[in-house]
Amino acid sequence: MKAKSLDHHRGSRLRRLLLLAAVAVAVTLAFFPLLPGRPSVTYCLSMGTAYAGLLFLAAALLIGPFNVLRGLPNPVSTYLRRDIGIVAGVLALAHTIIGLQVHLGGDFAQYFFYRTPTGIDGLRHDLFGVANHVGLIATLVILVLLTISNNLSIRTLGGARWKRIQRWNYVGSIFVIGHGLLYQAVESRKLAFETCVLIVTAAVAIVQLLGFRRRREQLEHSRPAD
């Protein structure tokens, strides 16, 4: 009976992951007709995975504070929040790989360094370079979090330590937003795309703040009176 229940649970999670993956693909493709001109498929995929990843990242960050605001249990980890975060991480990595092929003929080095006829000539510090450095930091943070998004890591690290590491998603999110806003300037994108980034950022920040305040109130009320 226990094995049957476990198999059912695994099957349910697999179906949810497949559904989330289908939604991610649909959102990615939905951005294609919104892009001006006749961009390449590579550019379309880069943009689509970037904004789909942003939306999934926002969803993962909203679940915790929404639970607090609704008075629901908010455990260290839930499969729903973790699965949404996994899809967000995969989209971010896909965006990184694809995005490095959009400009400069796919010469990865020139995204981060100046190139001369004789080789590399220093770290790139123009707007394009800064945007890529910020994006690289975000990618590294996301890669670490994606690597430990499993039950084995929770058991190995312990719930408290695992949660402390996972809180780096806030740092990673700041770099994701910074990377996105910098690229708005680099590519002179439509105001609608910049507005999308700002609205999503503001929504997550407001809900996180409200959740933090509610959590603090709950902790104050739970303290014994002097």
- pLDDT score of 159: 86
Asked whether 142 and 91 are in contact (CB, 8 A), the reply is no
Q: What is the pLDDT of residues 104-116, one digit of tens each?
A: 888 989 999 998 8
Asked whether 139 and 89 are in contact (CB, 8 A), the reply is no
Q: What is the pLDDT of residues 57-100, one digit of tens each?
A: 999 999 999 988 888 877 777 888 999 999 999 999 999 999 99
- pLDDT score of 2: 41
- pLDDT score of 225: 55
Return the structure tokens found at 194.
Answer: 């910049």
Compute the mean pLDDT over every residue in the chain, rounded to the nearest whole number: 89
User: Model's pTM, two decimal places?
Assistant: 0.88
Q: What is the pLDDT of residues 173-199, one digit of tens each?
A: 999 999 999 999 998 888 888 899 999
Mean pLDDT of 148-173: 91
- pLDDT score of 78: 84
- pLDDT score of 32: 92
For residues 108-126, one letter each, b for 16 or more C-beta atoms within 10 angstroms of the residue's C-beta and e for the rest, the string is eebbbbeeeeeeeeeebee
Question: With helix as H, strand as E and coil as C, how does 82-139 read?
Answer: HHHHHHHHHHHHHHHHHHCCCCHHHCCHHHHEEEECCEEEEECCCHHHHHHHHHHHHH
Q: Which of the residue ranges 117-121, 169-173, 205-209 would you say has the lowest mean pLDDT? A: 117-121
User: Confidence band (pLDDT; 50, 70, 90) for 5?
Assistant: very low
